[in-house]
Amino acid sequence: MSALRHDWTRDEVLAILELPFADLLQRAHAVHRAHNDANAVQVSTLLSIKTGGCPEDCAYCPQAARYSTGVQAEKLLPLETVLERARQARAAGATRFCMGAAWRSPKDRDVPKVAAMIRAVRELGMETCATLGMLSEEQAAALRAAGLDYYNHNLDSAPEFYADVIRTRDYQDRLDTLGHVRKAGLKTCCGGIVGMGESRDQRAGLLHTLATLPEHPQSVPINRLVQVEGTPLAGTAMLDSFEFVRTIATARIVMPASMVRLSAGRAEMSDELQALCFFAGANSIFYGEKLLTTGNPDVVADQQLFARLGIHAMQLDANDSDGACTVHASIHESACDDAEETVTA
Protein backbone atom coordinates (compact mmCIF):
# COMPACT_ATOMS: atom_id res chain seq x y z
CA MET A 1 0.00 0.00 0.00
CA SER A 2 1.42 3.39 -0.99
CA ALA A 3 2.06 5.87 1.80
CA LEU A 4 0.10 9.11 2.04
CA ARG A 5 2.10 12.04 0.78
CA HIS A 6 1.66 15.74 1.48
CA ASP A 7 4.74 16.87 -0.45
CA TRP A 8 3.51 16.52 -4.02
CA THR A 9 4.87 19.13 -6.41
CA ARG A 10 2.60 20.75 -8.91
CA ASP A 11 4.72 19.40 -11.75
CA GLU A 12 4.26 15.87 -10.38
CA VAL A 13 0.50 16.29 -10.24
CA LEU A 14 0.38 17.68 -13.78
CA ALA A 15 2.54 14.81 -15.03
CA ILE A 16 0.05 12.31 -13.56
CA LEU A 17 -2.90 14.17 -15.08
CA GLU A 18 -1.19 14.00 -18.50
CA LEU A 19 -0.39 10.28 -18.49
CA PRO A 20 -1.72 8.19 -21.39
CA PHE A 21 -5.34 7.50 -20.49
CA ALA A 22 -5.01 3.73 -20.07
CA ASP A 23 -1.85 4.10 -17.96
CA LEU A 24 -3.53 6.70 -15.75
CA LEU A 25 -6.58 4.51 -15.15
CA GLN A 26 -4.46 1.46 -14.42
CA ARG A 27 -2.39 3.37 -11.86
CA ALA A 28 -5.42 5.03 -10.26
CA HIS A 29 -7.32 1.77 -9.96
CA ALA A 30 -4.34 0.03 -8.38
CA VAL A 31 -4.06 2.81 -5.79
CA HIS A 32 -7.80 2.73 -5.22
CA ARG A 33 -7.86 -1.03 -4.69
CA ALA A 34 -4.88 -0.84 -2.31
CA HIS A 35 -6.63 1.68 -0.04
CA ASN A 36 -10.36 1.07 -0.49
CA ASP A 37 -13.01 -1.51 -1.29
CA ALA A 38 -13.15 -1.03 -5.06
CA ASN A 39 -16.81 -2.12 -5.19
CA ALA A 40 -18.14 0.04 -2.37
CA VAL A 41 -19.46 3.58 -2.74
CA GLN A 42 -20.32 5.91 0.13
CA VAL A 43 -23.77 7.45 -0.31
CA SER A 44 -24.75 10.91 0.93
CA THR A 45 -27.86 13.05 0.57
CA LEU A 46 -27.67 16.84 0.39
CA LEU A 47 -30.47 19.15 1.52
CA SER A 48 -30.60 22.92 1.14
CA ILE A 49 -31.73 24.10 4.57
CA LYS A 50 -31.55 27.77 3.55
CA THR A 51 -31.85 28.55 -0.16
CA GLY A 52 -30.96 31.65 -2.16
CA GLY A 53 -30.15 35.25 -1.30
CA CYS A 54 -26.40 34.72 -0.94
CA PRO A 55 -24.38 37.98 -1.13
CA GLU A 56 -21.38 36.29 -2.77
CA ASP A 57 -20.60 36.60 -6.50
CA CYS A 58 -19.51 33.01 -7.29
CA ALA A 59 -19.88 32.94 -11.08
CA TYR A 60 -21.28 29.40 -11.12
CA CYS A 61 -23.89 29.75 -8.40
CA PRO A 62 -27.65 30.18 -8.99
CA GLN A 63 -28.11 31.11 -5.32
CA ALA A 64 -26.21 34.40 -5.62
CA ALA A 65 -28.68 37.23 -5.06
CA ARG A 66 -27.07 39.37 -7.77
CA TYR A 67 -27.93 36.92 -10.59
CA SER A 68 -31.36 36.39 -12.14
CA THR A 69 -31.65 32.60 -12.10
CA GLY A 70 -35.18 32.08 -10.80
CA VAL A 71 -33.94 30.95 -7.37
CA GLN A 72 -35.84 32.81 -4.66
CA ALA A 73 -34.43 33.58 -1.23
CA GLU A 74 -35.99 31.43 1.48
CA LYS A 75 -35.76 31.25 5.25
CA LEU A 76 -34.05 28.50 7.21
CA LEU A 77 -36.13 25.32 7.10
CA PRO A 78 -37.92 24.21 10.29
CA LEU A 79 -36.24 21.47 12.27
CA GLU A 80 -39.02 18.93 11.68
CA THR A 81 -38.83 19.44 7.89
CA VAL A 82 -35.10 18.75 7.93
CA LEU A 83 -35.60 15.70 10.13
CA GLU A 84 -38.27 14.27 7.85
CA ARG A 85 -36.00 14.66 4.82
CA ALA A 86 -33.22 12.93 6.74
CA ARG A 87 -35.54 10.03 7.54
CA GLN A 88 -36.41 9.74 3.85
CA ALA A 89 -32.72 9.77 2.91
CA ARG A 90 -31.94 7.07 5.46
CA ALA A 91 -34.80 4.91 4.19
CA ALA A 92 -33.42 5.25 0.64
CA GLY A 93 -29.99 4.00 1.74
CA ALA A 94 -28.02 7.18 2.49
CA THR A 95 -25.64 6.98 5.43
CA ARG A 96 -24.56 10.63 5.48
CA PHE A 97 -26.88 13.64 5.52
CA CYS A 98 -25.47 16.97 4.38
CA MET A 99 -27.09 20.31 5.14
CA GLY A 100 -26.28 23.38 3.08
CA ALA A 101 -27.17 27.02 3.68
CA ALA A 102 -26.64 29.88 1.21
CA TRP A 103 -24.78 32.13 3.63
CA ARG A 104 -21.49 33.98 3.25
CA SER A 105 -21.05 32.89 6.85
CA PRO A 106 -23.63 32.02 9.50
CA LYS A 107 -24.60 34.61 12.09
CA ASP A 108 -23.98 33.50 15.64
CA ARG A 109 -27.74 33.36 16.22
CA ASP A 110 -28.04 30.80 13.40
CA VAL A 111 -25.57 28.33 14.88
CA PRO A 112 -27.84 26.94 17.66
CA LYS A 113 -30.59 26.29 15.09
CA VAL A 114 -28.22 24.34 12.86
CA ALA A 115 -26.78 22.59 15.92
CA ALA A 116 -30.28 21.34 16.80
CA MET A 117 -30.60 19.90 13.27
CA ILE A 118 -27.23 18.16 13.60
CA ARG A 119 -28.18 16.57 16.91
CA ALA A 120 -31.52 15.37 15.54
CA VAL A 121 -29.95 13.81 12.42
CA ARG A 122 -27.25 12.14 14.51
CA GLU A 123 -29.96 10.56 16.63
CA LEU A 124 -31.15 8.80 13.45
CA GLY A 125 -27.76 7.06 13.31
CA MET A 126 -26.53 9.01 10.28
CA GLU A 127 -23.27 10.84 9.73
CA THR A 128 -23.73 14.61 9.46
CA CYS A 129 -22.14 17.18 7.19
CA ALA A 130 -22.79 20.91 6.88
CA THR A 131 -21.79 23.62 4.43
CA LEU A 132 -22.66 27.07 5.74
CA GLY A 133 -19.95 29.33 4.36
CA MET A 134 -17.02 30.73 6.29
CA LEU A 135 -16.75 29.77 9.97
CA SER A 136 -15.01 31.31 12.93
CA GLU A 137 -13.12 29.10 15.39
CA GLU A 138 -15.96 29.47 17.88
CA GLN A 139 -18.63 28.50 15.37
CA ALA A 140 -16.67 25.44 14.25
CA ALA A 141 -16.26 24.36 17.88
CA ALA A 142 -19.99 24.80 18.54
CA LEU A 143 -20.92 22.64 15.55
CA ARG A 144 -18.46 19.97 16.64
CA ALA A 145 -19.97 19.99 20.13
CA ALA A 146 -23.38 19.39 18.55
CA GLY A 147 -22.03 16.23 16.92
CA LEU A 148 -21.17 17.41 13.41
CA ASP A 149 -18.93 14.91 11.63
CA TYR A 150 -17.89 16.73 8.44
CA TYR A 151 -17.70 20.33 7.29
CA ASN A 152 -17.75 21.08 3.57
CA HIS A 153 -15.85 24.10 2.31
CA ASN A 154 -14.57 23.77 -1.25
CA LEU A 155 -11.50 25.53 -2.62
CA ASP A 156 -13.31 25.62 -5.99
CA SER A 157 -10.25 26.12 -8.20
CA ALA A 158 -6.51 26.63 -8.38
CA PRO A 159 -5.34 29.71 -6.46
CA GLU A 160 -4.42 31.64 -9.61
CA PHE A 161 -7.79 31.00 -11.29
CA TYR A 162 -9.92 31.76 -8.24
CA ALA A 163 -10.32 35.50 -8.86
CA ASP A 164 -11.72 34.75 -12.32
CA VAL A 165 -14.67 33.07 -10.60
CA ILE A 166 -15.10 34.73 -7.20
CA ARG A 167 -14.22 38.24 -6.02
CA THR A 168 -16.23 38.63 -2.81
CA ARG A 169 -13.85 36.50 -0.75
CA ASP A 170 -10.21 35.52 -1.02
CA TYR A 171 -8.65 32.10 -1.40
CA GLN A 172 -7.06 32.60 2.00
CA ASP A 173 -10.52 33.02 3.52
CA ARG A 174 -11.31 29.47 2.43
CA LEU A 175 -8.02 28.13 3.78
CA ASP A 176 -8.66 29.91 7.09
CA THR A 177 -12.08 28.27 7.46
CA LEU A 178 -10.55 24.86 6.75
CA GLY A 179 -8.00 25.59 9.47
CA HIS A 180 -10.74 26.44 11.97
CA VAL A 181 -12.61 23.26 11.05
CA ARG A 182 -9.53 21.06 11.52
CA LYS A 183 -8.70 22.78 14.82
CA ALA A 184 -12.21 21.97 16.08
CA GLY A 185 -11.62 18.30 15.31
CA LEU A 186 -14.08 18.12 12.43
CA LYS A 187 -13.42 16.06 9.33
CA THR A 188 -13.15 18.10 6.15
CA CYS A 189 -15.06 17.75 2.90
CA CYS A 190 -13.16 19.88 0.40
CA GLY A 191 -12.84 19.76 -3.37
CA GLY A 192 -13.63 21.96 -6.31
CA ILE A 193 -15.38 22.54 -9.62
CA VAL A 194 -13.96 21.68 -13.02
CA GLY A 195 -15.17 22.88 -16.39
CA MET A 196 -15.28 26.58 -15.49
CA GLY A 197 -12.90 27.51 -18.31
CA GLU A 198 -9.73 26.60 -16.43
CA SER A 199 -6.74 24.97 -18.12
CA ARG A 200 -5.47 21.46 -17.42
CA ASP A 201 -2.55 23.02 -15.56
CA GLN A 202 -5.04 24.87 -13.36
CA ARG A 203 -6.92 21.64 -12.66
CA ALA A 204 -3.58 20.23 -11.55
CA GLY A 205 -3.20 23.32 -9.37
CA LEU A 206 -6.48 22.61 -7.59
CA LEU A 207 -5.55 18.97 -6.95
CA HIS A 208 -2.06 19.97 -5.84
CA THR A 209 -3.47 22.44 -3.31
CA LEU A 210 -5.85 19.81 -1.91
CA ALA A 211 -3.15 17.14 -1.71
CA THR A 212 -0.70 19.41 0.12
CA LEU A 213 -3.07 20.63 2.83
CA PRO A 214 -1.88 19.78 6.38
CA GLU A 215 -4.32 16.86 6.25
CA HIS A 216 -5.92 15.38 3.15
CA PRO A 217 -9.66 16.13 3.13
CA GLN A 218 -11.52 13.03 4.22
CA SER A 219 -13.99 13.69 1.38
CA VAL A 220 -13.02 15.32 -1.93
CA PRO A 221 -16.05 16.34 -4.03
CA ILE A 222 -15.21 16.83 -7.70
CA ASN A 223 -17.99 18.89 -9.27
CA ARG A 224 -18.48 19.18 -13.02
CA LEU A 225 -19.88 22.64 -13.71
CA VAL A 226 -23.65 22.73 -14.01
CA GLN A 227 -24.40 25.71 -16.22
CA VAL A 228 -27.36 27.75 -15.01
CA GLU A 229 -28.92 30.48 -17.13
CA GLY A 230 -28.38 33.85 -15.51
CA THR A 231 -24.97 33.03 -14.04
CA PRO A 232 -21.80 34.39 -15.65
CA LEU A 233 -20.55 30.88 -16.48
CA ALA A 234 -23.65 29.91 -18.48
CA GLY A 235 -22.50 29.05 -21.99
CA THR A 236 -19.05 27.84 -20.95
CA ALA A 237 -17.82 24.95 -23.10
CA MET A 238 -18.51 21.66 -21.32
CA LEU A 239 -15.42 19.87 -20.03
CA ASP A 240 -14.46 16.82 -22.09
CA SER A 241 -15.61 13.61 -20.39
CA PHE A 242 -12.17 11.98 -20.56
CA GLU A 243 -10.66 15.07 -18.94
CA PHE A 244 -13.16 14.72 -16.10
CA VAL A 245 -12.15 11.07 -15.61
CA ARG A 246 -8.50 12.16 -15.63
CA THR A 247 -9.30 14.58 -12.79
CA ILE A 248 -10.96 11.83 -10.75
CA ALA A 249 -8.07 9.43 -11.35
CA THR A 250 -5.44 12.00 -10.38
CA ALA A 251 -7.35 12.91 -7.22
CA ARG A 252 -7.36 9.22 -6.27
CA ILE A 253 -3.61 8.86 -6.83
CA VAL A 254 -2.56 11.93 -4.86
CA MET A 255 -5.14 11.43 -2.06
CA PRO A 256 -5.32 7.63 -1.84
CA ALA A 257 -7.39 7.27 1.33
CA SER A 258 -9.88 10.09 0.76
CA MET A 259 -13.45 9.62 -0.41
CA VAL A 260 -13.50 11.03 -3.95
CA ARG A 261 -17.06 12.10 -4.63
CA LEU A 262 -18.96 12.54 -7.88
CA SER A 263 -20.94 15.64 -7.02
CA ALA A 264 -22.62 18.29 -9.16
CA GLY A 265 -22.98 17.48 -12.83
CA ARG A 266 -23.71 13.78 -12.39
CA ALA A 267 -27.20 14.20 -13.89
CA GLU A 268 -25.54 14.97 -17.23
CA MET A 269 -23.19 11.97 -17.04
CA SER A 270 -23.92 8.73 -18.85
CA ASP A 271 -23.84 5.45 -16.97
CA GLU A 272 -20.68 4.60 -18.89
CA LEU A 273 -18.95 7.79 -17.77
CA GLN A 274 -19.90 7.16 -14.16
CA ALA A 275 -18.60 3.58 -14.42
CA LEU A 276 -15.26 4.90 -15.69
CA CYS A 277 -15.14 7.30 -12.76
CA PHE A 278 -15.80 4.50 -10.27
CA PHE A 279 -12.99 2.46 -11.85
CA ALA A 280 -10.71 5.51 -11.68
CA GLY A 281 -11.28 5.80 -7.94
CA ALA A 282 -14.52 7.68 -7.28
CA ASN A 283 -16.14 6.05 -4.26
CA SER A 284 -18.76 8.50 -3.07
CA ILE A 285 -21.87 10.07 -4.58
CA PHE A 286 -24.66 12.41 -3.65
CA TYR A 287 -27.91 10.46 -3.80
CA GLY A 288 -31.34 11.94 -4.41
CA GLU A 289 -33.16 14.09 -6.91
CA LYS A 290 -31.54 17.46 -6.16
CA LEU A 291 -28.23 19.01 -5.08
CA LEU A 292 -29.20 22.26 -3.35
CA THR A 293 -30.85 23.81 -6.45
CA THR A 294 -29.59 21.69 -9.36
CA GLY A 295 -30.71 18.29 -10.61
CA ASN A 296 -29.25 14.91 -9.67
CA PRO A 297 -30.01 11.34 -10.85
CA ASP A 298 -32.98 9.89 -9.02
CA VAL A 299 -32.71 7.13 -6.46
CA VAL A 300 -34.02 4.30 -8.64
CA ALA A 301 -31.60 5.17 -11.45
CA ASP A 302 -28.70 4.98 -9.01
CA GLN A 303 -29.94 1.72 -7.56
CA GLN A 304 -30.16 0.20 -11.01
CA LEU A 305 -26.69 1.44 -12.00
CA PHE A 306 -25.16 0.05 -8.80
CA ALA A 307 -26.84 -3.30 -9.40
CA ARG A 308 -25.56 -3.45 -12.99
CA LEU A 309 -22.01 -2.70 -11.85
CA GLY A 310 -22.07 -4.98 -8.80
CA ILE A 311 -21.44 -2.00 -6.51
CA HIS A 312 -22.76 -1.82 -2.97
CA ALA A 313 -23.23 1.10 -0.63
CA MET A 314 -20.73 1.49 2.19
CA GLN A 315 -22.05 0.74 5.63
CA LEU A 316 -21.49 2.73 8.78
CA ASP A 317 -19.50 0.84 11.39
CA ALA A 318 -21.76 -0.73 13.98
CA ASN A 319 -20.02 1.27 16.70
CA ASP A 320 -17.86 4.00 15.24
CA SER A 321 -15.81 6.36 17.36
CA ASP A 322 -18.42 9.11 17.29
CA GLY A 323 -21.33 6.94 18.27
CA ALA A 324 -23.13 6.42 14.96
CA CYS A 325 -24.44 2.89 15.26
CA THR A 326 -27.03 2.27 12.55
CA VAL A 327 -26.16 -0.06 9.68
CA HIS A 328 -28.25 0.51 6.54
CA ALA A 329 -29.19 -1.86 3.71
CA SER A 330 -26.96 -1.59 0.68
CA ILE A 331 -28.15 -0.01 -2.54
CA HIS A 332 -27.30 -3.23 -4.34
CA GLU A 333 -29.70 -5.14 -2.11
CA SER A 334 -32.37 -2.45 -2.42
CA ALA A 335 -32.11 -2.51 -6.20
CA CYS A 336 -32.62 -6.27 -6.25
CA ASP A 337 -35.53 -6.14 -3.84
CA ASP A 338 -37.23 -3.16 -5.50
CA ALA A 339 -36.56 -3.78 -9.18
CA GLU A 340 -40.23 -3.36 -10.01
CA GLU A 341 -40.71 -0.22 -7.91
CA THR A 342 -40.88 3.25 -9.46
CA VAL A 343 -41.26 5.35 -6.32
CA THR A 344 -38.32 7.59 -5.39
CA ALA A 345 -37.42 8.86 -1.98
Where do the DSSP E strands lie in the chain?
40-50, 96-101, 127-131, 150-152, 187-189, 192-194, 219-224, 259-262, 284-286, 290-291, 294-295, 312-313
Type of residue numbered 341: E
Residue 270's Cβ-side half-sphere holds a number of Cα atoms within 13 Å equal to 7
Q: What is d(CA 183, CA 12) in angstroms, rounded to the nearest whole number? A: 29
Contact 332, 313 (CB under 8 A): yes
Type of residue numbered 223: N
User: What residues are labeled active site?
Assistant: 54, 58, 61, 98, 129, 189, 261
Q: Enumerate residues 6+ apart whose C-beta is below 8 A from 83.
A: 117, 120, 121, 124
CA angle centred on 204, ends 202 and 210, rounded to 5°: 110
Q: Reduced to 3 DSSP states, what percent helix, strand and coil does the chain have, rounded to the nearest 5? A: 40, 15, 45
Which contiguous run of DSSP H or E holds residue 139? helix 137-145
Neighbours of 318 (CB within 10 A): 9
Q: Angle 200-211/10-17 helices, nearest 10 degrees?
A: 120
Q: Enumerate residues 6+ apart whose C-beta is below 8 A from 67.
A: 61, 230, 231, 232
CA 25 vs CA 215, 242, 252, 261, 298: distances in Å: 25, 11, 10, 17, 28
